């Protein structure tokens, strides 16, 4: 690494701040809590600032260029969101404060719940889950609680299409369900015949990602949902790809019973180093009683003279709490701001432009790269990162070479149903100029693959760290942030 760790930079005795003489009586810490073996780095303030500034220059972020990481919706995070999140009314409050002193915070959470219900077509929303995968786990626990509450304990299976997000089978397995894999048909939709053959009263539900990880709107979505509902199962929608549908179609209206929202994707809160995420879950009316609690609610309506009073309520059959306090409040403020700044028409334009941008890239790249499921795409699409005439080049080489052009690589090797998949999601925030720059780089790389394959094999050449040894990284884990004793 061109930059040492902060522990390696440490020098005994250096300090960043000098405290004034205490003007209150000293109260020593209990002896039991004192440790002498605490190897914290010792540095001056300027050295800390320089260390992290250097690290930030080694990083790549959406503020530097296009970040077409498929299924991650790496859109630009507007500065106004950050400004609002820094209002002292938000930053100087604590979740344990008396309710009457944080009514503004609660009102924001209440309105965000209402807006997400409206956007997704749901009857209830919890803001607690910390991110998408925890939203999925929450949704599956709600699904189980619903069946068990009805005395329906035979259901042990969850159906997962092979074009779903990779976290879906993990969430199901973690909840103790058996995962049944559903294949994709030649058009890139859920294989309806196969689905119908496994729909029986052992099915707790299905987890659908729509648009799926091929970036295609599943044309079988209505019959799929009907088939699962007919046997008493519930339908979970993975909201990670909601950016394609905003203001155009509502998952709840399609018949989806449970869905998580990724505030850090669709609603532009920072992620990928800038996190944390936030994964609110919306549910249909039949599931509202099972939501995690407590949930912000208008506990007194108020009138002309008295404002409404907001507090917390516990849903009647709640699965309980899934997150300490009330979730990632700072992300809620940013998502609230994003939705407020766009309004309903603006949100619809987000989806329209995200889909337009992806289709523009697909149209321009189709002749250079093979598109295995080639039809009008939604907000993303999947190319094959390989050519028959240069068999030694794989998707990873193309991605590494893109870094030399100052572009973040797309998602590699997912979905698994496409060989050497390159999953590309430009998002709506890229201009035609930056999309053209991306296409030019992809075309140059396709040319280089034929003329100078070693340029791809040895890429990246221009980054602070060259090609990393992925096998070594996976096999020799170093779960330690302190320098390793190399003696």
Partner 1 sequence: MNTPADLRYTRTDEWVKVEGNIATIGVTDYAQDALSDVVFFEAVVSVGDEIRAGDHIATLESVKAAAEVNSPVTGKVVAINENLASSPELVNSDPYGAAWMLKVELSDPSETAKLLAPEEYDQYCQTRSH
Min dist CB 416 to partner 1, Å, is 6
Binding of residue 471 to partner 1 (CB under 8 A): yes
Cβ-contact 457, 390 below 8 angstroms: no
Binding of residue 174 to partner 1 (CB under 8 A): no
- In the bound state with partner 1, the residue whose beta carbon lies nearer, of 372 and 406, is 372
Binding of residue 465 to partner 1 (CB under 8 A): no
- In the bound state with partner 1, the residue whose beta carbon lies nearer, of 94 and 475, is 475
Distance CA 394, CA 401 (A): 11
Distance CA 432, CA 360 (A): 9
Binding of residue 311 to partner 1 (CB under 8 A): no
In order of 86, 107, 332, 381, 403, the CA distances from 297 in angstroms are: 25, 9, 16, 40, 47
Residue with tokens 């089978």: 169
118, 185, 384, 436: which one contacts partner 1 (CB under 8 A)?
Answer: 384
Name the segment binding partner 1 (CB under 8 A); options: 32-40, 60-68, 76-84, 468-476: 468-476
Distance CA 395, CA 411 (A): 10
Q: Which of 160, 158, 147 is nearest to 416 (CA)?
A: 160
Name the region of 327 (left: φ>0; alpha: ψ -120 to 50; beta: rest).
Answer: left
474, 479, 480, 484: which one contacts partner 1 (CB under 8 A)?
Answer: 474
- In the bound state with partner 1, the residue whose beta carbon lies nearer, of 305 and 389, is 389
Residue 460 preceded by cis peptide, ω within 30: yes
Min dist CB 475 to partner 1, Å, is 5
Binding of residue 486 to partner 1 (CB under 8 A): no
Residue 483 token pair:
């320098």
Binding of residue 123 to partner 1 (CB under 8 A): no
Min dist CB 202 to partner 1, Å, is 16
Binding of residue 456 to partner 1 (CB under 8 A): no
Site for partner 1 in 314-343 (CB under 8 A): none
Binding of residue 466 to partner 1 (CB under 8 A): no
Binding of residue 185 to partner 1 (CB under 8 A): no
- In the bound state with partner 1, the residue whose beta carbon lies nearer, of 360 and 414, is 414
- In the bound state with partner 1, the residue whose beta carbon lies nearer, of 304 and 476, is 476
Name the segment binding partner 1 (CB under 8 A); options: 154-162, 312-320, 430-438, 466-474: 466-474
Min dist CB 272 to partner 1, Å, is 20
Distance CA 366, CA 440 (A): 13
26, 470, 485, 487: which one contacts partner 1 (CB under 8 A)?
Answer: 470
Min dist CB 365 to partner 1, Å, is 16
Binding of residue 83 to partner 1 (CB under 8 A): no
Sheet holding 157-161, edge to edge: 124-126, 281-283, 258-261, 234-239, 203-209, 157-161, 178-182
Name the segment binding partner 1 (CB under 8 A); options: 77-85, 206-214, 332-340, 470-478: 470-478
Min dist CB 417 to partner 1, Å, is 9
Min dist CB 386 to partner 1, Å, is 10
Cα within 13 Å of Cα(15), Cβ side:
4
Site for partner 1 in 396-425 (CB under 8 A): 412-414, 416, 418-419
Distance CA 466, CA 481 (A): 21
Site for partner 1 in 193-252 (CB under 8 A): none
Min dist CB 132 to partner 1, Å, is 19
Cβ-contact 370, 388 below 8 angstroms: no
Binding of residue 478 to partner 1 (CB under 8 A): no
Q: Strand 381-384 and strand 421-424: pairing? A: antiparallel
How many residues sit close enough to partner 1 to count as binding (CB under 8 A)? 14
Min dist CB 467 to partner 1, Å, is 12
Min dist CB 471 to partner 1, Å, is 5
Binding of residue 46 to partner 1 (CB under 8 A): no
Angle at 256 between CA 250 and CA 151, to 5 degrees: 150
340, 341, 394, 439: which one contacts partner 1 (CB under 8 A)?
Answer: 394
- In the bound state with partner 1, the residue whose beta carbon lies nearer, of 470 and 487, is 470
- In the bound state with partner 1, the residue whose beta carbon lies nearer, of 51 and 202, is 202
Site for partner 1 in 352-381 (CB under 8 A): 370, 372
Interface with partner 1 by CB under 8 A: which residues? 370, 372, 384, 394, 412-414, 416, 418-419, 470-471, 474-475
């Amino acid at each position: 690494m061109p930059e040492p760790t902060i522990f390696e930079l440490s020098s005994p005795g250096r300090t960043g701040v000098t405290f004034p003489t205490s003007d209150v009586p000293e109260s020593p810490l209990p002896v039991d809590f004192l440790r002498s073996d605490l190897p914290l780095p010792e540095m001056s303030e300027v050295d800390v600032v320089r260390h992290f500034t250097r690290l930030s220059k080694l990083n790549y972020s959406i503020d530097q260029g296009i970040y077409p990481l498929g299924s991650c919706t790496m859109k630009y995070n507007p500065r106004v969101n950050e400004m609002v999140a820094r209002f002292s009314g938000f930053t100087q409050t604590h979740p344990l404060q008396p309710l009457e002193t944080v009514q503004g915070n609660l009102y924001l959470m209440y309105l965000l719940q209402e807006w997400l219900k409206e956007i997704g077509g749901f009857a209830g929303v919890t803001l607690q889950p910390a991110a998408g995968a925890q939203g999925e786990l929450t949704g599956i626990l709600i699904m189980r609680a619903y069946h068990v509450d009805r005395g329906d304990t035979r259901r042990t299976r969850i159906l997962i299409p092979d074009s779903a997000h990779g976290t879906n089978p993990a969430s199901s397995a973690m909840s103790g369900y058996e995962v049944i894999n559903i294949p994709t048909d030649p058009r890139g939709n859920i294989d309806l015949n196969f689905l119908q053959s496994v729909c029986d009263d052992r099915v707790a539900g299905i987890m659908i990602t729509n648009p799926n990880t091929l970036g295609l709107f599943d044309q079988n979505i209505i019959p799929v949902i009907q088939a699962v509902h007919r046997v008493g199962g519930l339908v979970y929608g993975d909201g990670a790809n909601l950016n394609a549908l905003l203001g155009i179609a509502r998952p709840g209206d399609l018949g989806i019973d449970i869905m998580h929202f990724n505030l850090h994707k669709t609603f532009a809160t920072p992620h990928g180093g800038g996190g944390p995420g936030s994964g609110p879950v919306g549910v249909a009316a039949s599931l509202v009683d099972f939501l995690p609690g407590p949930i912000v609610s208008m506990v007194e309506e108020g009138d002309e003279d008295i404002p409404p009073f907001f507090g917390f309520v516990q849903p009647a059959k709640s699965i309980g709490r899934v997150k300490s306090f009330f979730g990632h409040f700072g992300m809620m403020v940013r998502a609230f701001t994003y939705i407020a700044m766009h309004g309903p028409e603006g949100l619809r334009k987000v989806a329209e432009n995200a889909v337009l941008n992806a289709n523009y890239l697909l149209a321009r790249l189709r002749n250079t790269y093979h598109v295995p499921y080639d039809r009008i795409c939604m907000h993303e699409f999947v190319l094959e990162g390989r050519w028959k005439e240069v068999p030694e080049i794989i998707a990873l080489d193309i991605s590494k070479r893109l870094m030399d052009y100052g572009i973040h690589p797309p998602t590699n090797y997912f979905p698994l149903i496409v060989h050497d998949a390159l999953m590309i999601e430009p998002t709506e925030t890229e201009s035609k100029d930056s999309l053209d720059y991306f296409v030019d780089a992809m075309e140059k790389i396709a040319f280089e693959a034929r003329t100078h394959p070693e340029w791809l094999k040895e890429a990246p050449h221009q980054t602070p760290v060259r090609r990393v040894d992925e096998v070594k990284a996976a096999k020799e884990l170093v779960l330690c942030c302190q320098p390793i004793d190399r003696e």
